[in-house]
Structures are given as C-alpha cells and as structure tokens.
Structure 1
C-alpha cells in the first residue's frame, strides 16, 4: 500500500514539474511569444498541422481559413481568440502579410502600440502595395503620441499616411487621419484641407465631433 502511495506521489510531482516547463498562455501572444515550447506543446502543434493537412488541399488554404477566422473574432472584439487563430495561421504559413497585420492590430488594441509597429513593418515588407497597413501603422504611432506627447511620433504617422496615399489616393481613411494629425500639430489649414478630401471620398471615416471642432477653428 505504501509503495502504491509513494508511486502516486512521484507521478504527481513529475506531472507538476513537467507542466511547469510549459510556458502558459503563449497562444495569445504573437508568434507564441517567441518562447521555446515544451514537448507537450510541440506535440499539440504536430497534431494541429496533421489535422489541417487532412482538412485542406494544402497549408496555404488552411492558413487562409485561419486568417479568415482571426478577422472574424477580431471584429467581434474577441482579441484573445483572434490571436489564437492568427498564431495557427502563422504556424501553417508564416509568410502571409495578413498574419502580421492581425498581430499588429491586436497588439495595438491591447495597449502596446510600440510593439505593434514592428508587425505592421513586416506586413509592409511582405505586401508593400497595400495602403491599409499605413492606416494601421499611423494609428499606432498616433497612440504613442497621445501617451508620450512627443510630436515626432505624429510626424512619423503623417509620413506613413502620405506613403499610403501614394499607393491609394482614393483611401478616405488616410485623408481623415491626416486631418486629425495636422490638427494635433496645430496646422488648421492642412487639417481642413484633408478633411475636405475625406468628405469627398469616405464621409463615414470622419468623426462628427472632430468635424464640428475643426469647422469652428
């Protein structure tokens, strides 16, 4: 009886030590936090990949499915589940720009705009012709500006927005954000100019309260 009890104690100790070697909640961090996974997590990844290989004709298609699911949860404001899906997509095929765009958006929304910027930079490199990345990146730099009150970050945001406009001159969000950025720099003339352009292209991108404030300047 004592031997059985002792064996059970050893098993429980081993189980505890084994679980302690597994970093927790890494699936809600971009690229699993860049940490070394434990044996159990590696085996779980292998099982997931094998399952995806059975369900889809190739890993590109499987990755696209996970990305689609990631955006779904992102727009439902379920950021942790969205991150889990983008991580699965990264595991399947790490060269998709949308994965890093997702990482950046979620990281920024969780209050870490400085960390988010590097993911937007990766997305830009993978797909340099998409102007929407520059909207996301500029938003992150604007967040940093609002926290640190350093106008240099706002100037970086403006550079991003201007680059985005070169790629897509009909993106109303870019004009709207430029208007806001110049307003914070106290350049009312430029702020009004870009607001006018935003109204022509995408009126829904304009905050009505901001428009009212600017019109009274």
Structure 2
C-alpha cells in the first residue's frame, strides 16, 4: 500500500474540531509580508525560521487579527491544525501546509502541527523530513499513538531504502508501542505486520494482519498479503 495513503488513513477519527472552530471556518488571514519572504509560509515550519522571524513574515496585522478572532493563541492553533487536516484530506497540500505552519507559529506545543507537516512531508522521495517532524511532535505528546504509528511507518520506509537494521528496529519499536497504546488502530497493525515481514518473522506478521483485519477490512493491503503468503501460507487459512 502507498505509504502516503497509509498515513492518510490515520486521519480517520481525528474529528473536525470544536463547534466554535467550525463557526470560524472563514477566518481571513491578512499578511503584509515582503514577496521574498512569502514563500517560507509554504515550507514546513516556515523553512526553519525562528518564531519571531515567522511572525515578521506574516506581517504586523496577523497577531492582532488572531487576538480579535480567538480567546487564546492555543485555541487558534488548534483551529488551524484542524483546518490543515481538512485541506489535507481534500488534497490541497499547499493550503494544508500553510495552515499547519500557522498552528505551529501560534503554539509550538501543538503536536498536531508537527504531525500534519510530517504527513505532507511523507510525499518526499525520502522520509527523513517526515521522521524529524514526527519526532518533534512525539517529544511534545509522547503518548500520542497516532504519531507513534506515523513515525514507525516512516522508519520502515527508510529501512526499505537504506537496509539499515537500526531503522527497522526503530520502526518496529514505535509500531509496537502504537498498537499497545491504541489496539483499535487497524492501520497501525497492518504497518506492524509489514515490519515483522521485513524482519522475517512471518507468523507474527500474520498475527498482526489478522488483528488489523478483525478491526477493519479496508486496512488490508492485498499486495502485501500476496508477498506474505509466498513466505508462509496463512496459518488460519483466511487468505488463500
């Protein structure tokens, strides 16, 4: 299954934000940034700018507008991260990236800002940027099973590219923690199955497949099932 699709599947159930946020779905963002700086708004975390520099890119009207529209910067940040996910599921990646950047700018302790940017960065040829962003989010919210799963899947992808055992073990560690923290996450179970497959632990891979299948059949990657069957027929005989 496409790695980006796997990450998008994790968005299910995140919700569309509070009713108050929905009422503000047409909040306008005014900017007076110089053209040379405007492009950084569409780079993850404003391209590495400091918070003060990023605020400068947004222009002097930005923070006063936020103060008039929201009771706190933290609530504004949650609003923009929610909108970021909405744009992400619609495939509007630049707009989504911009909204996640705003979420970060307003509250650097909002883990969803890093997660959203990480999911978008997973479209890059290598997962390095996504790993960095997911790790930043997990440092803020170490019990967040969704980010654990994202990070684990990213390490598995890097292992497929580098064949470094450390990446495989890191990926499995995060995915095992993710499924322990959220046993109902069918996609994480399927990702864990792929990790066990890469470690040539085929019986454990089948156990993870069946666990995910029992939760949600749509999580099944039938191309992967074919590869697993070639190594070990399904012990339960459900997949033939």
TM-score bracket, normalised by the shorter chain, equals: 0.7 to 0.9
1:188-211: CA deviation from partner (whole Å, max 9, x where unpaired): 222112111111122221112222
Using structure 1 for the length normalisation, give the TM-score: 0.80
Asked whether 1:139 is paired with 2:157, we answer no
1:7-54: CA deviation from partner (whole Å, max 9, x where unpaired): xxxxxxxxxxxx999445111212211236999971634312211211
Kept in 2: contact 1:22–1:41 (CA 8 A): no
Moved more, 108-117 or 81-90: 108-117
Give the 3-state SS of the residue equivalent to 2:148 in structure 1.
helix
Per-residue deviation at 1:136? 0.7
Moved more, 167-176 or 25-34: 167-176
Q: Which position in structure 1 is the counterpart of 2:169?
A: 155
Large movers: runs of 4+ above 3 Å: 19-24, 35-41
Aligned-residue RMSD, C-alpha = 2.6
Asked whether 1:26 is paired with 2:26, we answer no
Q: Which position in structure 1 is the counterpart of 2:111?
A: 97
Using structure 2 for the length normalisation, give the TM-score: 0.73
Larger Cα Rg: Structure 1 or Structure 2? 1
Report the number of matched residues: 199
Q: Which position in structure 1 is the counterpart of 2:209?
A: 195
Q: Which position in structure 1 is the counterpart of 2:234?
A: none
Give the 3-state SS of the residue equivalent to 1:111 in structure 2.
coil
Gap change, CA 1:23 and 1:111, over 3 Å in 2: farther
Q: Which position in structure 2 is the counterpart of 1:11?
A: none
